[in-house]
Homo-oligomer: A and B are copies of this chain.
Amino acid sequence: MASEEGAVLDAQQQRQSVEWFKYSKRVVLRSILCREDKGLGLVGERVVVGGWVKSRKEKAEKCPAEAQDETWCEALFSRMPLLRSIARILVGNDGAFVPRPAAGPAKSELVVAYLRINDGSCVANLQIVVDSSMSLLGQVMSIGTSILAKGVVEKIPSPGKYVVQLKVEKILHVGIVDIKKYPLAKTRLTLEFIRAYPHLRPRRTMVASVNRIRNVLSYATHMFFQNNGFLYVHMPIITTTDSRVCSKMFHVTTLFSKSDDMEKLIKTSDDEHINLEVVKAAIREKRNRIDELKRSDSNKEALIDAQRDLQKANELALQLEKQQKSAFVKIGEVDFSNDFFSCPAYLSFSMKLHLESYACALSSVYTFGPIFQADESQSPRHLAEMWMVEAELAFAELEDVMNCVEDLLKFICHSVLENCSDDMTFMSKYKDKNCINRLQSIGSSSFARITYAEAVEVLNQVKDQTFETKVDQGLSEEHESYLADKIYRRPVIIYEHPKEVKPFYVHVKDDGKTASTFDIIAPKAGVLVRGSQKEERIDMISKRIEELGLPQEQYDWYLDLRRHGTVKHSGFSLGFEKMIMFATGLDDIRDTIPFPRTHGSANT
């Protein structure tokens, strides 16, 4: 019993005491503002805090002797809120903050600045109170200024959303803002506007919230897999397996850097080159001939012809000279033997194939890394660089991975609700009022599961909607979104697609027509997950590669997995940015990732 009492006391002390951040001599705002008591238990404590100014108010206060009155007045207000309302009506402002007079305060007055700062650890801001007795006051007033300050936690006389503030005793560091150049100086700016400043935008509350949600989704993903015995394996970003049939790929090269060493780049041998010297010699001959013709004065037409000839030869020589000044690489026939990897290399647009090789040895594996698509789309659902969660399970069939991914999504959504409640509240208030509901409903019901054929049937019965393409021509993104957004209003698993709409590596069912595949379509995000059972039979998969005209030799290593100890295995890919759209309600995928890369845009 004694130890139990001790534990209770310890817990109380824990609650009371200031939690200094271990790796910087300050207290993180979250550990003040996100306590259950909103920081009340820390009143009287001396702390150091840091952050960037989010908003400010100034107030000209009377000199200390008179200021007493105001404190008394504030105390009265706080006990009788009605009085404040009356004051507000009479005075015409909120009865607390008097705008600083344009002429500056009288000498006997103390200017007090109420700055709200944020350090990125939570949505909440801490109000810090700085007065003009500190020489730095003029510097700290701009939005975006960084401040490190020491002070005492005190109760806000008239508590509202916040109940404590920091009375600053000493400003330890200021990072001023060049207000003329600071693009985020205004308070109301659209996501679209601040997208142009990816390096500054996490200072905006919504972007910070999205990043905290992204962080929790990432970590929860790892937790889910680790708790279930999966191994995290890092798959290669650079690959020599050309899968351009599936998506446009980026080349990775050092050829452009070898400008000092040009000759090596040129595959064509010297004799294939237009020899400028030959042309120059021809010009000399033509000149001689013209001189000759002039001298002989025999054939005027021949002279004109010859002069025209010379002119053309001169033009050719000029062009050749220009071209030869810089060396050439033949496109479509680039000589990759001098490239870094001695062959064409690409940025991977899926880790799937490589991941399979690890599943065919370690059984249950996952990866979480960037993938790349060089499509020139400007769609709000498209990025050139995205993060992808991919899992592959040996000895697993299609239904196993459907269950797995459904559990994963439930787990990570629950984790966001649990760990990011303030951020989700913020998102639901300022971005998408349904976002919390969406996450909650994921946990409370199973996903709808329908076959592709059933999906077609359901959509064919829709009367009050005209689609851009007909359902019978194959389901498009538009149809799928309609299913999730309008009909089921929750994530839908569509499975067993016609094999033609799926890649070569999927398992084809015994009917020879449908594939063991599924997609998960989610409201707001569209296609969130693609999953499939892989074709484990070497003859079947070789046939598919041939049918589709893929470069067989490039897949030889991949076919080895079927040649040597093949297993049934299945996996899925979760588009991580799509997941963030689903969770936050963001409309544009570029707002889900710190530094978005899209066609024509990568400005850092």
Contact = CB atoms under 8 A, between A and B. Distances in A.
A52 B236 contact: no
Closest 5 CB pairs of A and B: A120-B362, A259-B332, A175-B566, A202-B361, A199-B357
A156 interface: no
Given A23-B401, A327-B331, A395-B50, A385 B236 contact: yes
Task: Give the oligomeric copy count.
Answer: 2
A565 B241 contact: no
Interface stretch (A82-90, A213-221, A454-462, A517-525): A213-221
A597 B341 contact: yes
Given A214-B232, A235-B595, A341-B601, 5 more contacts: A218-B232, A222-B222, A251-B256, A326-B333, A341-B599
A594 interface: yes
Contacts of A222: 219, 222
B175 A239 contact: no
Given A257-B249, A594-B234, A323 B274 contact: yes
A536 B232 contact: no
Interface string A272-283: 111000110010
Contacts of A21: 229, 364
Interface in A65-105: none
Contacts of A184: 564
A25 B400 contact: yes
5 contacts: A178-B564, A208-B361, A215-B232, A219-B232, A236-B594
Contact of A199 (B333, B536, B558): B558
A120 B361 contact: yes
Nearest to A405: B23
A570 B560 CA distance: 47
B362 A211 contact: yes
Interface stretch (A314-322, A443-451, A466-474): A314-322
A307 interface: no
B312 A278 contact: yes
A394 interface: yes
A50 B360 CA distance: 11
Interface in A314-368: 315-316, 319-320, 322-323, 326-334, 340-345, 347, 354, 357-358, 360-364
A344 B250 CA distance: 13
A269 to B, nearest CB: 11
A357 B24 CA distance: 18
A243 to B, nearest CB: 12
A153 B245 CA distance: 48
Interface in A128-186: 144-146, 148, 173, 175-178, 181-182, 184
A434 interface: no
A197 B564 CA distance: 13
A255 interface: yes
Interface residues of A, number: 154
Given A238-B597, A564-B177, A603-B240, A332 B262 contact: yes
A14 interface: no
Interface string A42-73: 00000000111100000000000000000000
Nearest to A175: B566
A380 interface: no
B200 A357 contact: yes
Contacts of A316: 274, 278-279, 316
A567 B148 contact: yes
Nearest to A258: B331
Contacts of A363: 28, 50-51, 119-121
Contacts of A203: 360-361, 565
A24 B219 contact: no
A229 B121 contact: yes
Contacts of A120: 231, 361-364
